[in-house]
Structure 1
Amino acid sequence: MEPYNYSLLNEKREVRRSNTYYCRNLIWTFAGALVLYIIVSSRRVKEIPLSQEEIELLDNDTTISPLFKAFYKCAKPKLLPFKGDIKDFWYNYASATEQCDDLGAYEALDLRPSKNRDETKYVAFPHRNENLTMVTLGIGHDVSAEVGLKTLYSNIEFFGADPSPEQNKDLYELNLGGKYFQYAVSDQNGVSESVILEKEGYQKETTQHISIDVFFKNIVQRSKIDILWIDIEGNEYAILKELHKNGKLDREGVKICQMNVEMHKDLNDDPNTEMQPFYDFVWKVLDDKKYVLMKPYFVVFDRFRFIRLFIVNVGDKECTDLYVK
């Protein structure tokens, strides 16, 4: 009788052990994936569809831009679940509406990116060659995006405002060839507190303020601002409320064709003072049917949270004739 080869038995045991481990790992992987799916699904907020009557009213109104109609139909159902809750609205806005950037109607816009040190700005290019007016509110020691834009489209006159001349004046005038003004632009005239960027970082200081309508009419002396970039550490909300129909800018006959805006939070002790005006701004935009909000981006920086938006005026004929194909 031949001796039994115990090495074969060991090999079979190893194969069975390996198969057992494989099956066990497969089960745990599947279970983990299932739990993750359940968690994500439970957190996913279901859209609230528009009523048929609302859709028909929108579609039948020939005064409303097709771009706005597409934006409204996409964004509003995604935002309705957060209506009435300013905190959820703030934290979910960007993720809820980012899918609306791929709308076919937006092919009518020739969008180009222009980067600075830490973000990407967007510009809708004109479809005919015209001299453009651009305003930067809050220079922040960086004009690389403006310089990049000037390289892409040279017929732009630049105006910049920042309450701190340190670096900003030379950058805007010498590097860019624009005109610099030492103001904090907001909704008021006079002396008030501002958050400004110094060598040591952001500081609160008392600075000279000028209201947005006075700045455009008396300093820039333009009634049409083609491109507006706003990064002014909290003062943006005071300006944004003037953009709506019958707002101060509208009453003064000032139109803004497109904007990049940074909406800040956590600059004040009470975050509601920042989340509430953002909430109000978005719902007023949906009511006005004048602007589309694009490229939402939620930023986490240290203890601060902010939202970046690209905003296009699709309700003013002078703007749409130049920027919408």
Structure 2
Amino acid sequence: MKTLTLGVAAACLAGQAFAADITIRLAHLNPEDPFESHSGAMAAVFKSLVESNSNGEIEVQLFPNGQLGKDSEVIDQVRSGLVESTISSAGGMAEHYPLVGVFDIPFAFPNIGVASQVIDKDSAFGQAFSEDLEGKTGLKVLGLLDSGGFFEFTNSERPIATVEDMEGLKIRTMTLPTHEALIASLGGQPTALPWAEVYTALQTGVADGEMNPIPIIAFAKFQEVQKYLSITNHLITPYIWTMNQEFFDGLSPENQYLVSWAADVATDAGRSMSRVIEASDKGLPTLSETMEVNVVAPEELEKFAEASQPAVRALIEEKYGEEGIVMLDLMLETADEADATY
């Protein structure tokens, strides 16, 4: 299957023109329009900055909408050098770097401001996380940001206002054991599915619901197959932008500098675009037109946290041992320090 996927990717890439001295092929899962998704914005800004500041030496070719395959498969392509760079979800990265599961301790961040400070490759946590990922995968981390905001629950059965409302709901998760443990701890039935299958699964009842940030729910048009949206802010996961390390090392020092700062600027643009989409007619206002939206009360959220945090922490310790707990605690400590600045 992997050989077939690589063959398809090679066929796609073969159709591209290679006019510049250096070509960076950048893949991501989401729409190409920079006003539709944060990774679309990141890719567009990166392409513009790199091409305009390299005097035509570097061309950036974009492959949005999962054109080159599933997330984990594209990371394979980057590791092998077939593709230079990709912006990946936590679910895709988990197959290559399982320790990404430390992000899945629920209710870790009190607000998006704190989360944005922590989920950054230059934070104390982000530096340690990036260094560990690079050492274990051979990938270079160009950017680290949230996947579009806090996760909320949608489903087709009923509003979720209490932990009891989760009982028996089949909730789609990424292929992350921590996400599965979270749903199970709340009484739901975790249903792990790749991104490309989610809409159909919700439409056909293979899954009753799912959890994602507001911008992702909106651009995926889940309001067409889901009736209820419950605001819980229970999780926030990363998107991780990586590049083939050997390719990066082969660039001149000047071009390494260009790629690095362009990625930094593009990551900031992606983070900001998520906040814009959340607040615009491409976010919650539009979803509210066709979905029944409820905000879970703070006292009920405490019960969600009490039910889910111990289960996920235990799984992190069981699966990843001491290094998992050390990384998790560093993330929580960095969050506490960021919170104290407000």
Range into which the TM-score falls when normalised by the shorter chain: under 0.3
- Structure of higher RCO (CA pairs closer than 8 Å, 6+ residues apart): 2
Larger Rg: 1
Q: Which structure: greater strand fraction?
A: 1
Q: Which structure: greater helix fraction?
A: 2
TM-score (normalizing by structure 1)? 0.23
